[in-house]
Amino acid sequence: MPALDVIDETFVLAPVAELRDIFCDERAWKSFGMDLHPYDDRGVSGKRWTLSGQLTGTAEVWLEPSHGGVIVHVYLQADSRSRRSESRMRRLYAIPVKRWILEVKSGYDIERPAGVAPAGHGKIPEQS
């Protein structure tokens, strides 16, 4: 099992194409110290990468349209070349990535009251 094994799912009420531009941008991931090499570009559904450098392993973003928004799935499985502890790897990589996801989400939610769709998206569908 990899030293760093992250599974994150966050609902964001935003257009899938916009979220793809944000979360599948290798430059953004590089700011977290991750050297990504794409091997599966799935268009608006997301992207998969191999990791090299300080981390070796895989990363994936899967964007799943749901209830007028998108579930952003982030998977990160990696080992550290420097044999860092699991808790240190979480602090260095997993926590900053989660903060980034929540910052993006809050940017879409900042002026939208609960239950109201973002501009141009109509009413939020009721969940059954």
Q: What is the DSSP string of 43-68?
A: GGGEEEEEEETTEEEEEEEEEEEETT
Q: Give the pTM.
A: 0.84
Domains assigned to the chain: 4-109 (3.30.530.20)
Note the pLDDT tens digit of each residue in 106-115: 988 777 777 7
Q: What are the angstrom distances between the C-alpha of 57 and each of 21, 38, 71?
A: 23, 12, 23
pLDDT of 121 = 52
